[in-house]
């Protein structure tokens, strides 16, 4: 393993870790479940002596992809793919509301006949009752910390987009890897007992805009205070951010146009091991 990849693993282990495994192919076993375990968190970076800054790094959105090289003798059982999608249960409720309005019509009248000794008093009142019908749609869903949506990447790989349910940071596991495999692999070799087993890779990617950098500080607090007080503070902050991007680029598995907010980088990668 190269020194660069080893550094990358140390730097990003707290941001995301990914593991993948499946049962071994063999005689009579040509179809197996592929499990992928991914865990998100927050990393504290910049602890190296030579680093002039320190900061926290998290992710607010990412995707997990199953990468099957074109020439590998393995395919995916389409029906087995975990079709994760936001799910809601709803029911329509019909509500009947009754309201009363009094004194819609009311009056009092009377007459007095002194000679006949007769007196009469009459009154009338009308009460109106109005009825109103309303409908209310209620939606119910299971509360989860992360929302997962399955689709395919432009390259044709199966992928799962992972987002926070409250627009926050990704933290923890989006699914139970042991109980919820991503899909089934089919060994296309004529004799699974011979030759090299197929290779499948699992990657976790995100866009540069999905990286959340917080608590950015110069290690020399005196220098930090001095920089903040100068007119060119914003330009110097931009230089600091550029330095961070450079480190991320050096330690990532793959980076595509890191300078652009839509630039893509690979945070973690793992070969699926047979268990």
Instruction: For residue 161, name the pLDDT band (cuts at 50, 70, 90).
Output: very high
96 and 72 in a common domain: no
239 and 105 in a common domain: no
Residue 89 reports pLDDT greater than 60: no
104 and 178 in a common domain: no
CA distances from 195 to 183, 189, 191, 198, 261 (A): 23, 9, 8, 9, 44
Total of domains in the chain: 2
153 and 22 in a common domain: yes
Q: Round to whole Å and give the CA distance between 206 and 49.
A: 28
Mean pLDDT of 32-57: 84
What is the structure's pLDDT at 45? 77
219 and 116 in a common domain: no
165 and 130 in a common domain: no
Q: Round to whole Å and give the CA distance between 191 and 238.
A: 57
Q: Are 244 and 237 in contact (CB under 8 A)?
A: no
81 and 99 in a common domain: no
Rounded to two decimals, the pTM is 0.68
What does the buried/exposed string (b/e) look like for 171-197 if buried means 16 or more CB atoms within 10 Å of the residue's CB?
eeebbebeeebbbbbbbeeeebeeeeb
In what helix (H) or strand (E) does residue 248 lie, and over which residues does it extend?
Answer: helix 233-251
61 and 177 in a common domain: yes
Predicted confidence (pLDDT) per residue in 1-18, tens digit: 333 344 344 557 888 999
Predicted confidence (pLDDT) per residue in 45-61, tens digit: 777 776 777 788 899 99
| Domain around 110 | 91-138
In what helix (H) or strand (E) does residue 5 lie, and over which residues does it extend?
Answer: helix 3-12
147 and 70 in a common domain: yes
243 and 156 in a common domain: yes
Higher pLDDT, 39 or 131: 39
Q: Round to whole Å and give the CA distance between 224 and 236.
A: 10
CA distances from 110 to 107, 115, 125, 127 (A): 10, 16, 15, 21
Residue 172 reports pLDDT greater than 80: yes
State which of 138, 170, 198 marks the end of a domain.
Answer: 138
């Amino acid at each position: 393993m190269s020194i660069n990849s080893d550094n990358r693993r140390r730097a990003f282990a707290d941001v995301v870790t990914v593991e993948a495994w499946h049962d071994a192919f063999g005689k009579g076993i040509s179809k197996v479940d592929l499990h992928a375990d991914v865990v998100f968190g927050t990393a504290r970076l910049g602890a190296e002596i030579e680093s002039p800054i320190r900061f926290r790094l998290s992710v607010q959105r990412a995707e997990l992809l199953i990468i099957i090289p074109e020439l590998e003798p393995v395919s995916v059982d389409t029906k087995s793919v975990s079709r994760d999608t936001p799910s809601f249960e709803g029911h329509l409720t019909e509500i009947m509301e009754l309201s009363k309005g009094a004194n819609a019509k009311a009056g009092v009248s009377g007459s007095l006949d002194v000679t006949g000794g007769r007196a009469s008093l009459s009154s009338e009142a009308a009460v109106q009752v109005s009825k109103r019908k309303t409908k209310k749609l209620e939606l119910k869903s299971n509360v989860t910390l992360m929302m997962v949506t399955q689709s395919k990447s432009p390259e044709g790989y199966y992928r799962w987009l992972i987002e926070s349910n409250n627009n926050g940071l990704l933290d923890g596991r989006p699914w139970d890897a042991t109980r919820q495999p991503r899909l089934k692999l089919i060994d296309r070799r004529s004799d699974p007992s011979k030759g090299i087993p197929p290779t499948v890779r699992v990657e976790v990617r995100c866009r540069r805009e999905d990286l959340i950098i917080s608590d950015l500080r110069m290690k020399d607090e005196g220098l930090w205070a001095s920089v903040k007080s100068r007119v060119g503070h914003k330009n110097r902050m931009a230089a600091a951010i550029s330095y961070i991007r450079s480190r991320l680029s050096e330690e990532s598995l793959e980076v595509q146009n890191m300078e652009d907010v839509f630039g893509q980088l690979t945070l973690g990668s793992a070969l699926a091991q047979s268990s």
